[in-house]
Amino acid sequence: MREEAPVELLAAIPPALDLVDATDDDLQAAIPAVRDAVRGFVAPASGEWRRLAVATKIMHLKRPKSVPILDRNVLSVLGLHLADDASQNQQVEMGLEAALLIRREGRRNRAGLREIEEKLRHDGRERPPARIMDGLLWLAY
């Protein structure tokens, strides 16, 4: 994956773009770049191991504020189901839908997230709000 990862696609996503805290305009401007990057990281053929969960884990390493980790558990808690044979396009669109749901809920619960962020920062484990949200969703599974 390291050799095949299209990391150049991440350059179009602003490193400081925060999924939860970005303005609507800034997020809308970045969505095409995020869509292209997810499409580049998700394998083109169904059944290959480079699916949405792997793609978002790798993307999160380079854009932690912008890209939550979207594995099967997180999707399930969000009420989404990604079929094992989902096409690349289905995975990309579900990834964007899930990210926007995380944004919506992160914004609705921003005060609580801020408290968690402060506690983590105090403990030396700084995390962006979207990562806290995907972690909480994963634990809720």
Q: Is 122 left (phi over 0), alpha (psi -120 to 50) or beta?
A: alpha
Say what the pTM is: 0.92
pLDDT digits (tens, 9 = 90+) for 54-108: 999 999 999 999 999 999 999 999 999 999 889 999 999 999 999 999 999 999 9
Q: Whole-number mean pLDDT of the chain?
A: 93
Torsion region of 56: left, alpha or beta (phi above 0 gives left; psi -120 to 50 gives alpha): alpha
**Cα 124 from Cα 114, distance rounded (Å):** 15
Q: In the structure, what pLDDT confidence band is assigned to residue 50 with cuts at 50, 70 and 90?
A: confident
How many of the other CB atoms lie within 10 Å of CB of 48?
11
